[in-house]
């Protein structure tokens, strides 16, 4: 039986919203919302929070979750997850962001299923169709184009495809959840940063530029990550009704 783990990277330091995994909503920290959604996955065998801060480690343990310390020197979440993966005999690892408390187990399982049903796939991820046209030109909304078999061709902060002819193609926004084969995760994190990754500040371009296969699945979910105090207040309003 294949071992599938959900690993949730969570760090204390954040330039826009420090300590956000520990912020409380209805007396529950944000990281707990994410963890509890992960526990409801029907495909994963284990859920682990990967952190570089003992305050987050202790918080997770206090609500009964599992957490492991990692180096504080990692450049990105994938590196933190790779450290966890190297300690265990997992076959597949899902990278679930610790600041998306509205994520659902159905979406988590869609990302896992997309990865495990095709042996040729290195990485899986999710996209949603963009309905709000203002997001197309927003560099904080990463766009994705893919082929007829749902293999990613490119990710960009720019509008892709370029609209030379009007209304010929939908636009898809990338959702930052990734499934990895263990060997693919280790390989990607050991590769040097590619020039495309540096240019767009998108680490998935390192995988594409090194001929790694990223399969996408389409979802209608539009999870709201918590990056700013305004995002936090919005989530609080939703939960407090």
- Domains of the chain in start order, with CATH, are 4-236 (3.90.550.10)
pLDDT at 73: 80
Q: Which residues of the chain have pLDDT under 70?
A: 15
Q: Which token pair is 94?
A: 């899902």
pLDDT at 59: 97
pLDDT at 227: 83
pLDDT at 222: 79
Query: Looking at the DSSP assignment, which residues form a beta bridge with residue 179?
Result: 94, 124
- Cα–Cα distance between 226 and 88 in angstroms, integer? 29
Residues 6 or more apart in contact with residue 8 via CB below 8 angstroms: 31, 34, 35, 38, 47, 48, 49, 50, 96, 97, 98
pLDDT at 48: 97
Q: What's the mean pLDDT when you consider all of the chain?
A: 93
Q: Which token pair is 119?
A: 């042996």
- Cα–Cα distance between 196 and 50 in angstroms, integer? 27
């Amino acid at each position: 039986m294949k071992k599938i783990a959900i690993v949730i990277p969570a760090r204390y330091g954040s330039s826009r919203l420090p300590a956000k995994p520990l912020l409380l909503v209805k007396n529950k920290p944000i990281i707990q919302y994410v963890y509890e959604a992960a526990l409801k996955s029907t495909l994963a065998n284990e859920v682990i929070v990967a952190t570089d801060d003992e305050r987050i480690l202790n918080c997770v343990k206090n609500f009964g979750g599992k957490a492991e310390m990692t180096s504080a020197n990692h450049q990105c979440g994938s590196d933190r997850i790779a450290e966890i993966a190297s300690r265990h005999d997992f076959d597949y690892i899902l990278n679930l962001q610790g600041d998306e408390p509205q994520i659902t187990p159905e979406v988590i399982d869609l990302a896992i299923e997309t990865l495990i049903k095709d042996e040729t796939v290195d990485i899986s991820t999710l996209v949603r169709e963009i309905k709000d046209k203002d997001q197309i030109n927003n560099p904080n909304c990463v766009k994705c184009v893919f082929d007829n078999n749902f293999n990613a061709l490119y990710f960009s902060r720019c509008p892709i495809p370029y609209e030379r002819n009007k209304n010929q193609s939908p636009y898809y926004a990338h959702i930052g959840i990734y499934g990895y084969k263990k060997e693919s995760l280790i390989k990607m994190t050991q590769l040097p940063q590619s020039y495309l990754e540096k240019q767009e500040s998108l680490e998935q371009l390192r995988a594409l530029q090194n001929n790694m296969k990223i399969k996408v699945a389409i979802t209608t979910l539009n999870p709201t990550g918590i990056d700013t105090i305004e995002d936090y207040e919005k989530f609080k309003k939703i939960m407090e009704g």
